[in-house]
Amino acid sequence: MCQTCQTFAGILVLCLINSAFLLENGLARTPPMGWLAWERFRCNTDCKNDPDNCISENLFRTMADIVISEGYAAVGYEYINVDDCWLEKERNNYGQLVPDRQRFPRGMKSLADYVHSKGLKFGIYEDFGNYTCAGYPGVLGYLRTDAQTFASWDVDYVKLDGCYAHPSEMDRGYPEFGFYLNQTGRAMMYSCSWPVYQIYAGMQPNFTSIIEHCNLWRNFDDIQDSWASVESIIDYYGNNQDVIVANAGPGHWNDPDMLIIGNFGLSYEQSKAQMAIWAIMAAPLLMSVDLRSIRPEYKAILQNKKIIAVDQDPLGIQGRRIYKHKGIEIWSRPITPLYQNYFSYAVAFLNRRTDGTPSDVAVTLKELGLTSPTGYRVEDLYEDVDYGVLSPQTKIKVKVNPSGKYTY
């Protein structure tokens, strides 16, 4: 028997503990979801000439409104996260951080209150070094003060970058700042850049400590608005999965960086591919896109409830690349429900060829590692097609659209 599935650069779900380290803050039992300014809006501080797109309280209030009104919150996106360039260049006389007085005239507590009034959560950015990556004051020398400041503003999520810092000091500094965050008594998600800066410096990160002290962390380059950038991240996670995968689980996640779906650099098929692979990787889903102008087909990708459910699967097991040959890759992730000690699985088929025609991939469920004698119900999560219950011996033929460098 051969079952044919019409698909994309696509994802199937085939349905039929590993106990996780519980961080002191008790957060991130599934990967965080939300909206983050950086990739789309960068460090645009020119509110005089570009008031609609500059890093300002108005931008974040607007995005919070849209996350609610356009249904993003209803499918799980809950954080509104400020990134770099929100600060004044100097601290105040008490050594405290000060938001830019022109662009955030009502202050960060007011912005947090607004976000909270929508039922959302508020995130902020800082840096472990002397300065942030864009040259604003960093936390070095002010770890306790800044943790207390964020708590006083009712911050829910803190991203700590690593520019202008010595990687050798991060093994001490990142846990210390996390300690001060916890000491405030306010639960704040803690996003670290600790490992990526050590990797750049040729050091081997201590992932045992990172898991204990961070809710999520970056391992690789910042994402850029291009398919080449997405591919480089996919390659890094696939090529290093034996080191990376085991570190993820409820409360502590690998972060391959933002979703750039709906911007300028990805085609429709490439956007579907990013969403699918990020879900397989149990990645944080942090959109960085102008939600005011996103096209409906890209919005639909970001709001695909079934793929979000894969990403948010409560087992928290990160998936792996299980096949790579001649531009075709297969990625697989164990998910719920379990039946008679057999996992269900989400499986993504990725076509990285650029020859312009869909590729047929034929494989039995058993060859994918699916061996339950009772079989699996197979569903295409993009096409919303249910193929019924298939046995491990069933060969499925998947037609995978190419994800080359096209714009259409």
Question: Nearest CA to 284 among 114, 4, 35, 6?
Answer: 35
Residue partners of 91: CB distance under 8 A and separation at least 6: 97, 98, 137, 142
CA distance 164 to 170: 12
The verdict on whether 161 is a catalytic residue reads yes
CA atoms within 13 A on the CB side of 155: 26
- The residue annotated as part of the active site, out of 83, 161, 255, 311, is 161
Provide the H-helix boundaries in 318-400: none
Residue 62: count of CB within 10 angstroms of its CB:
15
Number of other CB atoms surrounding residue 185 within 10 Å: 7
Helix (H, G, I), strand (E, B) or coil at 38: helix
Neighbour tally for 305: CB within 10 Å = 10
Q: Is 172 helix (H, G, I), strand (E, B) or coil?
A: helix
- Enumerate residues 6+ apart whose C-beta is below 8 A from 120: 34, 64, 67, 68, 73, 78, 79, 80
Q: Which of 271, 286, 167 is nearest to 215 (CA)?
A: 286
Q: Active-site residue among 221, 222, 225, 235?
A: 222
Has 242 been annotated as catalytic?
no
Catalytic annotation, residues? 161, 222
